Amino acid sequence: MNRTILLFLIIATLALVISSNAEEGGSFSPYVDSKGNITRPTDFREKWTYLGSWVHPEDSKSGMHNVYTEPGVAERYKANGGIFPDGAVLVKEVLSEASRDMTTGKGVLHAKDTVLWFVMVKDEKGRFKDNPKWGDGWGWALYYADAPLKDVSTDYKKDCLGCHLPAKQTDWIYTYGYPVLNSK
């Protein structure tokens, strides 16, 4: 083979390998770009699976925590023996709450305004080794309601991991609070 053609083939192959690696991040989740930046999902209330809620006392600032995942994730989690599928996204929406006396009882708590959202994206391949928002099998992000497009987390080891330590055995997720993941 002529040397020029050989050189051309080597360069073309290298270019292909580099570009497919760069696209790796972008192609595994519609919410993650090639650098590992996470976009907040917006249609989870209408279209996703509701996993469950954590309800904090009325005088607490953090109120009601509602957790969602994408359609199909709960089924795959159960079919896989309790493992979240690669690319699965979890959203925890934190809302303030209010209470009133209702026909069902006194001081009934209900959700009011959104305060913030936590987002996690399952990454079983360790794709973004140089990005401090990724590690331990997940991408980790946080958005406040007054700037809903801006992920304000900087480093999941500082911002998130310590508080999720009690759930380490269940892949850092508090799965016991989500009935659909535990039902047969």
Contact positions toward ligand HEC, by CB under 6 A?
Answer: 54, 65, 67, 90, 92, 118, 120, 140-142, 153, 159-160, 163-164, 167, 173-174
Residue 64 in tokens: 């009601």
Phi, psi for residue 11 in degrees, rounded to 5: -65, -45
CB of 67 to ligand HEC, least distance (A): 5
DSSP character string of 86-132: TT-EEEEEEEEEEEEEETTEEEEEEEEEEEEEEEEEE-TT---TT-T
CB of 105 to ligand HEC, least distance (A): 23
Q: How far apart are the C-alpha atoms of 74 and 85, rounded to whole Å?
A: 9
